[in-house]
Amino acid sequence: MANANTPMIECKNVSKVYPDGTVGLKDINLTINKGEFVVVVGLSGAGKSTLLRSINRLQDVSGGEILIDGKSITAAKGKELRLIRRDIGMIFQSFNLVKRSSVLRNVLVGRVAYYPTWKTTFNLFSKEDKQKAYEALQQVGLAEKVYNRADELSGGQQQRVAIARVLEQNPKIILADEPTASLDPETSKRIMNDLKMLNEKYGMTVIANLHSVELAKEFGQRVIGIRAGQVVYDGKMSETPESVFTNIYNGGNGKEAADD
């Protein structure tokens, strides 16, 4: 990867305590460099989603600071915050498409932060952006569905529309929160390959939360293990022994990895 050592995301002593007292994140310190493909593994409720959603501030943190490409997103407000978010794409477990809107419209939405409000109100997207949206759909193999309504598509297709939306947004970072959790193994692979394409072809930094150890091993370059809101492992995938996964998934006392 180019610029291998330019930090893209820096978490400094990040913590998150929910109003009911549950600890979501505890003193997280992480640096993720430009162009990395990072997988975050851990049990449900370990804090993987909380970490991802803190990076683009869909959730506020309770302490610490997160820098995106050198700018603090935790301190940003209003327009400044929206401009930082414009450079961070997100893929959701439940796709989060507008089901009653066309596929094209759903892809174009990735671009709204580049438009003044009145233009988006009247759906005035530029020709170039529409063309780009169509090309993005071709990339994920859904060109013929461009005018279909999003709810006519299968789950796997909807997630690919979400990937086209990220392509249209053209961010520096992609956060993928359990992108394959509601999909079958074959479709999951396809989605992960699309993410890999975004990483390799466009140099986007990818952070993906994954349940599946198998997918994590196949696609991750770097693994971050999270347990009870803390980073318990951080290393290159190629140098990560099996025991690490066993530890993360079985709380350090199990014998075999819980492989779903």
Partner 1 sequence: MTNKSGQAPVVPGLPKKKFKLMNWVWAIILIGGLFVSTQETNTSLPVLFQNFSNFTEIFVEMAKPDWSYSGTVIPLVLQTIKMAILGTFFGSLAAFFYSLLIARNVVKNKVVTGVFRFIMNIIRTIPDLLLGAIFVAIVGTGTFAGVLALSVFTFGVVVKLFYEAIETIDNGPIEALTAVGANKWQIITDAVLPQVMTYFISYTLYAFEINVRASTVLGYIGAGGIGLYLQQTLDVFQYERTGTIIIIIVIVVVLIDYISSKAREALMK
Yes or no: say if 163 and 95 are a contact pair by the CB < 8 Å rule. Answer: no
- Residue 260 CA, distance from chain mean position: 20
- Which of 46, 97, 161, 163 touches partner 1 by CB under 8 A? 97
The partner residues of 225 in beta bridges, in order of sequence, read: 41, 233
Per the listing, tokens 């350090």 go with 252
Which of 74, 240 has the CB closer to partner 1? 74
Q: How many residues bind partner 1 (CB under 8 A)?
A: 36
Minimum distance from residue 169 beta carbon to partner 1 (Å) = 6
Which of 151, 200 has the CB closer to partner 1? 151
Subset of 207-236 contacting partner 1 (CB under 8 A): none
Spatial neighbors of 191 by CB under 8 A, at least 6 apart, are 156, 159, 160, 163, 179, 180, 183
Indicate whether 103 belongs to the interface with partner 1 (CB under 8 A).
no
Q: In what order do the strands lie in the sheet with 205-210?
A: 88-91, 173-177, 205-210, 37-41, 222-227, 230-236
- Which of 18, 45, 99, 154 touches partner 1 by CB under 8 A? 99
Indicate whether 35 belongs to the interface with partner 1 (CB under 8 A).
no
Yes or no: say if 67 and 9 are a contact pair by the CB < 8 Å rule. Answer: yes
CB count within 10 Å of CB 250 equals 14
Helix (H/G/I), strand (E/B), else coil: 223: strand
Q: Fill in the per-residue mask, 51 to 70: x = in contact with partner 1 (CB under 8 A), - = not in contact.
A: -----x-x------------
CA-based torsion, 178, 153, 145, 143: positive or negative: positive
Indicate whether 179 belongs to the interface with partner 1 (CB under 8 A).
no
Indicate whether 85 belongs to the interface with partner 1 (CB under 8 A).
yes
- Which of 12, 26, 71, 86 touches partner 1 by CB under 8 A? 86
Binding site for partner 1 (CB under 8 A): 56, 58, 79, 81-90, 92, 94-101, 105, 109-113, 115, 117, 120-121, 162, 165, 169, 175
